[in-house]
Structure 1
Amino acid sequence: MAKKQEYGNDSISSLKGADRVRKRPAVIFGSDGVEGCAHSIFEILSNSIDEAREGYGEKILLTRFADGSIQVEDFGRGIPVDYNPKEQRYNWELVFCEMYAGGKYSAGEDNYEYSLGLNGLGLCATQYASEWMTADIYRDGFHYHLDFKQGEPTGEMVKEPFKGRRTGSIIRWKPDTQVFTDVNVPTEYFTDTMKRQAVVNAGLDLVFVDQTGPEKQTIEFRYEKGIEDYVNETVGLDYITPTRYCESTATGRDREDQPDYRVKMSAAFCFSNKVQMLEYYHNSSWLEHGGSPDRAVRTAFVNQIDNFLKTKGLYKKNESKITFADVQDCLVYVSSTFSTRTSYENQTKKAITNKFVAQAMTEFLKHNLEVYFLENPEEAQKICQQVLINKQSREHAEKTRQSIKKTMTSQIDIANRVQKFVDCRTKDVSRRELYIVEGDSAMGAVKTSRDSEFQGIMPVRGKILNCLKADYDRIFKSDVITDLIKVLGCGVELGGKAKKDLATFNLENLRWNKVVICTDADVDGYQIRTLILTMLYRLTPTLINEGYVYIAESPLYEINTKNKTYFAYTEPEKANILSRIGKEKYTIQRSKGLGENDPEMMWLTTMNPESRRLIKVNPEDVEHTAAVFDLLLGDNLAGRKEHIAQHGVEYLDDLDLS
């Protein structure tokens, strides 16, 4: 075995330059898969959006080319890339090749008061993660061109005079498959992202050009009134109240020891009984997981609507308070906030955690809702009535859910509560079959030969109680009987009264389509079969009357020839088989007990729906059946003796006298 390298002072190393991104892309972009690649594209787009929001440029084009490269073109001021006397370096080195560098770190300057691309990582990180990148910058009367390959510059910056009037930046690059495991960003990501940015940047044109197909496709997004237009578009004509738009600003801090920062807030909302939506944006970034704005919405809307309900006496006596789920079910809401100081959960900007943003938004929404309700009492009434309807619907659904859960849990728990019961997998009652077998050995044979998808097993241990002779108290002290009733699931028929933990009979609760009694083909097996039938007749006679109860007929003889095995269920069948075999050699033996049969034989003769023999217990005359049961198993000893004397001779051949 090779000796491991010693872990010493020279074992410590750091990633440098492009390797900081190329070898650990998930640290910056949140993933080394297609999600991370998509986020690297968003970083470049966000820089152009920041320029437009500062008032420089009204249009941004994002193009996807057939070779897999991406291009973002804006008409802003153009990235400063020339020599920087203060840093004594070219700005292009800082912006494209230096992490945590850019105009957003300039002290005392308000280049980007509310920045989407906040950390100065995006352009450099995306350049590091590219197979190649080119940059064309137009500013100060010059055209600048730069080339990069796998994170490193190739050649010098080209600078030439430009007589045109345009300014801005054109960045084109190809995501590197050596960095990302998947670079096939779906079209939906581009269209969804650009639409969202158009929503929160009122009046900005965002154009997606797709050249990957046989024909070039161009999709343009523009919302003149931003989030207000977006809410109107989303709800259409399905509104209870018209869209309400409000905006404000605030200044505060997250902690006493931190500096103040500015927050700019806007919200657009309406109510609908057909559409519901919650979306939060901060510094133009869609907050998929919300964070501070989500906490504010939940607090403010529940508080103000609850106050209105209490003030107007719309709650019923002892009625529970509304929840945000009741409000959300009819709320169409979009907010867009900006702050000069932002705490994101991570670089992917899916949620913010600013304490002051949550506080400012809560007060902002509470105030605007209070004014809205005072100025529009009829609309407030409609809103609150719909919220109460949602509440009642939720509570009713919860009761139904709990009831179903209780019923299903009870059914599932049967397998745990009833000793040795083996359930089947399907929940389709029309397919489920319950085999009632005698003893553990028979259960083992049936278990290994059954189809576990739809055949369950319930073993009967020992001699079952004679339910015709016993009173109910004795019957329900028998674990064998109570366990079997629990497994059936339909309860017992005792004149409408429940007994112990056994429910009153309800055929709809029967968990099986067939109840199959499966016992040995001998005197003991017949007796156990009769006792089980007696129990079912006494406690659940409807199962017999409706044809749910069956007897699995076991063969009396197994006849083996050189090429085939025959099963005879009666003496005449045995004779018929032997006559058909003729002079062919054979062996014949009395069929074994169920516990001694091999799985293949059990499946063929007893379990397989295609080859088994089932006798449906379907008495035409229930009273006659009751009389026979009572005669054979009841207290009429004289009648039973007479019956045996008259008919016993008919069963001499079936007696096991060995």
Structure 2
Amino acid sequence: MANKKEYTNEDIVSLKGEDRVRKRPAVIFGSDGLEGCKHSVFEILSNSIDEARDGHGDKIIVTKYNDDSIEVEDFGRGCPVDYNQREKKYNWELVYCELYAGGKYNNNSGDNYEYSLGLNGLGACATQYSSEFMDVEVFRDGYKYDLHFEKGRNVGGLKKEETKQKKTGTKTHWRPDLEVFTDIKIENEYFEDVLKKQAVVNPNITFILRIQRENNSFEEKTFYYENGIADYVAEIAGEKPLTSVQFFTGDRKGRDREDKDDYKVKLSVAFTFSNQVKCLEYYHNSSFLEHGGSPEDAVKSAFTSQINAYLKSNNKYLKNEKPITFQDIEDCLVLVSSSFSTQTSYANQTKKAITNKFIKECMTEFLKHNLEIYFIENPDEAVKIAEQVLVNKRSREKAEKSRIDLKKKLAGSIDLSNQVQKFVDCRSKDLSQRELYIVEGDSALGSVKMARNAEFQAVIPVRGKILNCLKADYDKIFKNEIITDLIKVIGCGVEVKTGKNKEISMFNLDNLRWNKIVICTDADVDGFHIRTLILTMLYRLVPTLIEKGYVYIAESPLFEITTSDKTYFAYDENEKTKILKMIGNKKFDIQRSKGLGENEAEMMSLTTMDPATRRLIKIEPDDIEQTQWMFDMLLGDDLQGRKDFITNNGVDYLDMADIS
């Protein structure tokens, strides 16, 4: 038996200094990938935002350089970096080299950062530790200070010189380290999105984004909202909202638990209703709450409660009608919430959700009270809201019923109690082997059925030319028995992403019953047309099957060339020419290949079914837009466009035409 290594006291180690972040970035930033890298940027930005919101400076400049380095400049008081008598250390060491150090912990010592975004004292230090380099330039107290760090360690100490410049502020330039993060190429859209969001929740602060271009020039964008979230809601709602923009604001004070201290909360909510757009965004201490938390819970509870109460008291419900849900409200609501608190419980360091119990409770009460007054003072708008919410509710219920009915119709198991007409299954249950042949008509079904390998090949016939799914609406498509039978046999449901039917989408690739779906039609004009219609159906209803490479076409030979001892099959004119040259002076008989239904089982197996000898073409839409354009051209509503296309390109396909 091999000796096992002993587990001793000396095996317990702790990470120190910069290694606490460099070796475990996901603990601090939530990820060691691009998302974590983005969060490291936001930590520096949040310090500048706290300064500006506290009344020190009204402009922040963010620059993204070609080398993936970033610079954040503010015009606040300047980060304290000189010697700290109380701590017996330089402040730059505390700020940039100590986790959980900063000026935001003790609110009793002064008014600095009462509502702080960068509360946890990790940001500047954690980002510095995770950087390839970081340069800090500070103007304050008549001095200019410079610091330089490399891979988490200071190089050269603090440089300090007197300056006559009156400006104050902090400029931080750094590059995230690829030894820490797997990816540091942050897209420009991230910076645009973040700065716009921060401008929204920090009114009267100007955010400037500078993007360095390849020629080293800079493109600038400015983000500024004078009235903050109210202006933003109006912008989202556009020109024709259902109601006017409402803005509620207030302050509260309370605690999460009886044994905890009270803390302050500032609440601001702006909203309007629309039948064109919907949007819900939540912010806390300027941080965008991607996963909501307490404010989201409060909005859901308050809006559902108050609108439901209004509908009941005004007899808007039908007899025995179920009450509304928040989903019915959300579908027509444009709302942005921006809250602040002196104590915040974030779900984690990445600040994507907050969990404060008191914030949820006080915000729910705050919204209920203001909504009640709003409905009383604006009766016309209250009626519009009630009517739109009821329209949403009844549409949802109708769509849900349609979805359930369709799911029963399409996703039923293939057994004796739910038999699809003329579908012939295979024996194998191994999904990596199972193949479904979609064939043209009952005669082809007979030939393919005899020629197939019943162990892993199943067959379903298409009875005539199926519906053109590109031109038909979904209601008509799902009433077509041929199509619903095909979808039922395929097994993975449908992808319906647009219009009123979007809720009936139930696509699940895990439920696909086949490794290959093979379209098998005659090599003539009618066969080509049927094949195109089947492909169109799959493209419209289950495009993922095409994108993932599950759909194939079985090539059928165009010509049979028979000699005294052998039969050859040619799939196009070029192959026919090559075969004729190969057989030389032998006597031969040549004819166009018969339809699938007229072929012998042996020939069908050889040319169409046997994996060793058949020819399958995998459908691979490399350019989905081009594929859609071609389907639209050949099968869409533009008759003149189709005529022009055939006139200009038809000569290229004359050899394929069945013209005698």
TM score, norm. by length of structure 2: 0.68
Q: Which amino acid aligns with 1:97?
A: C
* Partner residue, 1:137: 138
Asked whether 1:175 is paired with 2:187, we answer no
- Residue 216 of structure 1: how far off its partner (Å): 1.1
Question: CA deviation digits over 1:250-277, x for unaligned, max 9?
Answer: 1111122221111100000001110110
- Residue 142 of structure 1: how far off its partner (Å): 1.0
- Residue 437 of structure 1: how far off its partner (Å): 6.3
CA distance in 2, matches of 1:400, 1:513: 17
* Partner residue, 1:190: 191
- Residue 112 of structure 1: how far off its partner (Å): 1.1
Indicate which of 447, 450, 456 corresponds to 2:453: 447
* Partner residue, 1:84: 84
CA distance in 1, matches of 2:94, 2:33: 27
* Partner residue, 2:94: 94
Q: Against the structure 1 CA distance between its residues 447 and 206, is the aligned structure 2 distance closer, same or farther, given a 3 Å change threshold? A: same
* Partner residue, 2:410: 408
Q: What are the ranges of 5 or more consecutive residues in structure 2 without an aligned counterpart?
A: 428-433, 464-477, 487-561, 570-584, 589-599, 617-660
* Partner residue, 1:382: 384
CA distance in 2, matches of 1:82, 1:162: 15
Instruction: Give 1:209-608 correspondences, 5 Å limit.
Output: 209-214=210-215, 215-410=217-412, 421-422=425-426, 446-447=452-453, 456=459, 508-510=480-482, 562-564=565-567, 599-600=605-606, 603=609
Q: Which amino acid aligns with 2:459?
A: G
* Partner residue, 2:627: none
Task: Please report the RMSD computed on the Cα atoms of aligned residues, expressed in angstroms.
Answer: 3.6
8 Å contact from structure 1 (residues 133, 149) kept in 2? yes
Q: Against the structure 1 CA distance between its residues 513 and 66, is the aligned structure 2 distance closer, same or farther, given a 3 Å change threshold? A: closer
CA distance in 2, matches of 1:205, 1:434: 74
* Partner residue, 1:64: 64
Partner SS, residue 160 of structure 1 = strand
- Residue 211 of structure 1: how far off its partner (Å): 1.1
- Residue 93 of structure 1: how far off its partner (Å): 0.5
Q: Which amino acid aligns with 1:447?
A: N
CA distance in 2, matches of 1:599, 1:113: 79
CA distance in 2, matches of 1:303, 1:289: 22
Q: Against the structure 1 CA distance between its residues 230 and 425, is the aligned structure 2 distance closer, same or farther, given a 3 Å change threshold? A: farther
CA distance in 2, matches of 1:114, 1:98: 22
Q: Against the structure 1 CA distance between its residues 513 and 70, is the aligned structure 2 distance closer, same or farther, given a 3 Å change threshold? A: closer
Q: Against the structure 1 CA distance between its residues 301 and 512, is the aligned structure 2 distance closer, same or farther, given a 3 Å change threshold? A: closer
8 Å contact from structure 1 (residues 45, 72) kept in 2? yes
Q: Against the structure 1 CA distance between its residues 425 and 359, is the aligned structure 2 distance closer, same or farther, given a 3 Å change threshold? A: farther
Q: Which amino acid aligns with 2:366?
A: F
Q: Which amino acid aligns with 1:123?
A: A
CA distance in 1, matches of 2:329, 2:435: 40
- Residue 357 of structure 1: how far off its partner (Å): 0.7
Question: CA deviation digits over 1:212-270, x for unaligned, max 9?
Answer: 43331000100000000101111121201010001011111112222111110000000
Q: Against the structure 1 CA distance between its residues 421 and 263, is the aligned structure 2 distance closer, same or farther, given a 3 Å change threshold? A: same
Q: What are the ranges of 5 or more consecutive residues in structure 1 without an aligned counterpart?
A: 459-486, 489-505, 515-558, 567-579, 584-593, 611-658
CA distance in 2, matches of 1:510, 1:155: 78
Question: CA deviation digits over 1:583-636, x for unaligned, max 9?
Answer: 9xxxxxxxxxx99999427849xx9899xxxxxxxxxxxxxxxxxxxxxxxxxx
Partner SS, residue 352 of structure 1 = coil
* Partner residue, 1:525: none
Larger Rg: 1
Partner SS, residue 360 of structure 2 = helix
How many residues get paired?
A: 493
* Partner residue, 1:204: 205
* Partner residue, 1:25: 25
Q: Which amino acid aligns with 2:48?
A: S
Instruction: Give 1:634-649 correspondences, 5 Å limit.
Output: none
- Residue 359 of structure 1: how far off its partner (Å): 0.6
Question: CA deviation digits over 1:23-62, x for unaligned, max 9?
Answer: 1111111111111111100000000000011111100001
Q: Which amino acid aligns with 2:302?
A: A
8 Å contact from structure 1 (residues 263, 357) kept in 2? yes
CA distance in 2, matches of 1:87, 1:76: 24
Q: Against the structure 1 CA distance between its residues 149 and 410, is the aligned structure 2 distance closer, same or farther, given a 3 Å change threshold? A: same
CA distance in 1, matches of 2:185, 2:308: 48
Counting aligned pairs with the same residue, the percent is: 52
Question: CA deviation digits over 1:301-355, x for unaligned, max 9?
Answer: 1111111111111111111111111111110000000011111111111111111
Q: Which amino acid aligns with 2:481?
A: N
Partner SS, residue 133 of structure 1 = strand
Q: Which amino acid aligns with 1:24?
A: R
Q: Against the structure 1 CA distance between its residues 415 and 41, is the aligned structure 2 distance closer, same or farther, given a 3 Å change threshold? A: farther
Q: Against the structure 1 CA distance between its residues 15 and 596, is the aligned structure 2 distance closer, same or farther, given a 3 Å change threshold? A: same
TM score, norm. by length of structure 1: 0.69
Question: CA deviation digits over 1:539-564, x for unaligned, max 9?
Answer: xxxxxxxxxxxxxxxxxxxx996554
Question: CA deviation digits over 1:414-444, x for unaligned, max 9?
Answer: 79979972398779x8968797669xxx968
CA distance in 2, matches of 1:561, 1:172: 84
* Partner residue, 2:657: none
